Chains A and B, each alone.
Chain A
Amino acid sequence: MSPGSRNKSFFAAGERLAAKKPGLRFRAEILQAIRSFFIETGYLEIETPLLIPAPAPELYIDAIHAGNSFLHTSPELCMKRLLASGYEKIFQICKCFRDGERGAAHLPEFTILEWYRAMADYQSLMNECEEMMFHLSQKLALGHRISYGGREIDLLPPWSRLTVNDAFSRYADIPLDAALAAGSFDEAMVTQIEPHLGAPKPAFLCDYPSSLASLARRKRNEPQSAERFELYVGGLELANGFSELIDVVEQKRRFEEEREKRDRLGKKNYPSPDRFLEAMPYMPESAGIALGVDRLVMVLTDQGSIDSVVAFTPEEL
């Protein structure tokens, strides 16, 4: 490479970064508005370690090794230990790491907003999502009607709520049970269902099959479904929340199932998160949610690619 071409690539990268400045400034305002919402509603901001010895086993989420430990894939287990010790309303904004995830809405290192609340269930979390997004739109002077990906979206609560079962009968060419049996749940979700969700109002997709919710509580009157939901805005998945499973025997059994499934796919397993399991009997009835902050910024700034809402992509380092 000649010195000249090196300069040229430096200037091109420098210009790209400079052009991102207004967007990154707005991202910072969004982060501040998120903090103000949680602080004003009585939440405590906490920080838990990014480097952990034992991530939760989940079939399709792969942790990145760092020395003898792992970079966390979410702060879930540590935050639940805090819940078990009497922290009743906590939130965290942190980086999470997931191996091999890279696409228009995926970065292997991304920012999560996660919050937990004692004496709450997934219904109350959905209400809180509505309140938070509405708060953001007011605080940032966006108004409650935003435009994302060429669609108008009205953030004014209440938003639409539909069950996974209803979404399959409405949008997919295969019923939910058949999709689960055939192993084509994810394909139907991505190609047939997701594009319809979250416009003209954000949508909560609720009541996932229990087999797809290893840390969520089952519905009391309907044990084949779990009290888990995903939030969609304009076809983009923004958050995943659930009523927390607090039965340690069932949790151990589900972790074991996940480990067996990972084994069958030839994926590595992690050490057992024993300290989390020891704390679990002390967890109150509670609910928790993880929201992708980069994607929230995409929605609020009408960007189609996650690359445009972060200063650096992995490829630019």
Chain B
Amino acid sequence: MYTASNLRKGIKLLLDKEPYVVIDFQFTKPGKGQALYRCKMRNMISGIMIDRTYRSVDTFEPADLEQRRMQYLYNQEGHFHFMDLQTFDQVSLGEEQVSDAKNYLIDNLEVDVLLFDGRPIGITLPNFVDLRVIQADPWAKGDSVAGDSKPVTLETGYILRVPPFVEEGIKITVDTRTGEYVTRVKE
């Protein structure tokens, strides 16, 4: 059980039976009045942001969240399947739960799956993922001005801008937090 004085950024709690994470937190106390804890919170399932103000006497249930390392198996009709390598348990997440992470999901990639009451609600990718370029326009020498970039398509279907020297068939490292090109991978 938490009280309002435990509230801080990043804490995860249960409201109306759904898990929320505190995104922003402000302690206020009007003259001679009571302490108020103003929170901005994100619903960890729907992603909806809410504002709430609590008093020091308010109490909260911590959200029962568990993070498990799992391997991505395959995508079937919009359902992304993952397997726990220790227990061989399989779970699946819908497209809206996986969201932009689908740009980086290649077979055998290991990710952290977030479970709420045993149900998967989201995944955390590694910060860097190596992906193969399946389509790129050839590099025309002569228009190689520094700062130039060109669009390429990766094996997941993700399209991003890369430096002109990146060729079809090679692998590149992408930062999953920004979605940007990092470097070429030596194979």
Contact = CB atoms under 8 A, between A and B. Distances in A.
B2 interface: no
Interface stretch (A111-119, A183-191, A271-279, A307-315): A183-191
A273 B53 CA distance: 34
B154 to A, nearest CB: 38
Interface in B16-35: 26-35
B28 A190 contact: yes
B163 to A, nearest CB: 34
B2 to A, nearest CB: 15
B57 interface: yes
Interface in A155-188: 185-187
Given A100-B5, A237-B31, A187 B57 contact: no
27 contacts: A58-B32, A59-B34, A60-B34, A60-B35, A100-B5, A100-B56, A101-B27, A101-B29, A101-B35, A103-B28, A103-B29, A104-B27, A106-B27, A106-B29, A185-B33, A186-B30, A186-B33, A186-B36, A190-B28, A190-B53, A191-B53, A194-B30, A212-B32, A213-B32, A230-B31, A237-B30, A240-B32
Interface residues of B, number: 16
A240 B56 CA distance: 23
A265 interface: yes
B38 to A, nearest CB: 7
A78 interface: no
Contacts of B30: 186, 189-190, 194, 237
Contacts of B27: 101-104, 106
Given A104-B26, A265-B57, A61 B31 contact: no
A187 B32 contact: no
Interface of B: 5, 26-36, 38, 53, 56-57
B22 to A, nearest CB: 14
Interface string A84-102: 0000000000000000111
A190 B32 contact: no
Contacts of B26: 103-104
A60 B38 contact: no
B5 A240 contact: no
A240 B36 contact: no
B66 to A, nearest CB: 30
B55 to A, nearest CB: 8
Contacts of A105: 28
Nearest to A232: B31
Contacts of B28: 103, 105, 190
